[in-house]
Amino acid sequence: MGSILVITAIPIARAGLRMILRENVGEHILHEAGSVNDALACTAENLALIILDPELPDMNLLEFVGHLRRQSEHTPILLFGGRSAAMFASLAIKLGADGYLGRMSDERTIAAAVLTMLSGMQCFPRYTGLDLLSIRMQTLSPKEIAVLLLLRQGMRNKDVARRLYLSEKTISAHKRNILSKLEIDTISEINQHDLVMSGLGQLHATN
């Protein structure tokens, strides 16, 4: 019998996942972490699945996924949540995660995704990679991804520079490259793109 580690700072999300997991995969031991430090301190053995909120506070997603991979090389990672479903679904592939689900997914979808990943398969929304922005997202370098994730939180260049231990000039250069590669004028355009893609995802789900 394996165990499942849920990592999210949102209590209601942990409670919802706890209920769904107990009802659908009750034979697995459930562990929960509300922060990066809690997750790092977790001593769960025989991990069968890690469910990670990609917008966990005070987390460098790129580094943390890398850490989880080193600690549990063969354990599948499901990114669950994020304000921009289309963006995070695409980045999940880029980061080497094994699946992605938006936080607004219903119980049946979540349960099916978890069971799919526990069986050794990947799980991504059907629209992932079908739109131009999602395809362009995969051209970003790991450092550009780290910068983009922080900029999307509304952080200023100097704050991003401080967080990543880089100069403001370097962050500005990364930002220019990001906008150029994604062919957008501002970072906020990703939010508008997500509204469109979320609607497309709903159409796929109902057809």
pLDDT tens, 149-169?
888 878 899 999 998 889 999
Residues 105 and 190 in one domain: no
Tell me, what's the pLDDT at 14?
93
Tokens of 171: 């962050």
Task: Specify the 3-state DSSP secondary structure of 59.
Answer: coil
Q: Which of 64, 89, 118 is the last residue of a domain?
A: 118
Return the closest-CA partner of residue 9 out of 117, 67, 81.
81
Angle among Cα 93, 99, 104 to the nearest 5 degrees reads 115
* Mean pLDDT in residue range 91-103: 84
Tokens of 87: 């963006």
Residue type at position 139: T
Measured distance CA(4)–CA(25) in Å, rounded? 10
Q: What is the CATH number of the domain that holds 104?
A: 3.40.50.2300
* Mean pLDDT in residue range 21-28: 85
Residues 103 and 18 in one domain: yes
* Mean pLDDT in residue range 98-104: 86
In a domain, 66, yes or no: yes
* Mean pLDDT in residue range 109-117: 91
Q: Which of 62, 90, 118 is the last residue of a domain?
A: 118
Tell me, what's the pLDDT at 35?
92
Tell me, what's the pLDDT at 85?
64
Count structural domains, the chain. 2
- 9 pLDDT more than 70: yes
In a domain, 180, yes or no: yes
Domain that includes residue 105, residue range: 3-118
Share of the chain above pLDDT 90, in %: 32
What beta strand segments (E) does 17-166 contain?
Answer: 29-33, 47-52, 77-80, 99-101
Neighbours of 3 (CB within 10 A): 17
Residues 32 and 55 in one domain: yes
Looking at per-residue pLDDT, the higher value among 20 and 189 belongs to: 20
Residues 12 and 65 in one domain: yes
Q: What is the CATH number of the domain that holds 162?
A: 1.10.10.10
Tell me, what's the pLDDT at 71?
85
Lowest-confidence region among 25-29, 106-110, 124-128, 200-204: 200-204
